[in-house]
Structure 1
Amino acid sequence: MIKHLSEYFLPEQEFYLQNISYNRIEKTVDEKEHSLNCVDSIKVDVDGKERVRVTVTRALYFEQNELFDLAVTFGAILKFNPVKKDEYKWHEINMAEEFRENGEFVTNNLVARISLLIAQITSSFGQMPLVLQPSVTK
């Protein structure tokens, strides 16, 4: 693991919303308790030796396929620090795992944005919003 991963990138980061998928499920639910699953996934693409594209997706779904399912994906483009970029063979490293373990400098921002959108979307049907932890589950 690369402990100081942020040192290999310039401080400028470009954030963008990539995808939102929300499906309300028109199913009569008699139960009072519902089991909600939250799954975070990270994808990293190394674009040559100049930049890295990091995307984080948070997916929510109920075990009994009830109420709704929701997925939000945000991304960031990071530029390598030209002084340090040649210290590793970036294509040979599991970059998704590196960012999961040591990429808080970018993933926390992405997940905070995702968490905010999820709260806004889930409050749109008249219930209390789901406010989820704004950090990647490890």
Structure 2
Amino acid sequence: MKFKNRKKNGFSIIEVMVSFVIIIIIVLLIGPNLFSTYERSKEMSKVSDASAIVNATDMHNLNRFMEGEIEAISDNITMSELRQINEQYKYLNNWPKWVTDSMTLKDIKDIANNNLVNKSTISRAIDNRV
């Protein structure tokens, strides 16, 4: 009995498994890099928002000084108090959602300057998603 030469229709199981393993290896190599880039971009967004708050505070201090008031906003002011000042003078159009009312201006300045002295405050701020 002679075997007929059969034409191969499709892929063998070995070929499918090898291509599957190659795809998994590529995903494992690229995946962590993409995830860290995503997290870093979120962190930079928080730093940018914090810098905007610091700039708004500096602008308020400068305007008050020009009007004759010498006392500047202290670093111990809470964000709820700063929010009330912002509602009155409109230095900052969009208030970031991740900023909690209990945070102080010093915490915001630490985030803006990437000063990681108080890691718990900064990590809480970064963990609060926009």
TM over 0.5: no
TM-score range, shorter chain: under 0.3
Judging by fraction of residues, say which structure has more strand: 1
Judging by fraction of residues, say which structure has more helix: 2
Q: In terms of Rg, which structure is larger?
A: 2
TM-score by length of 2: 0.24
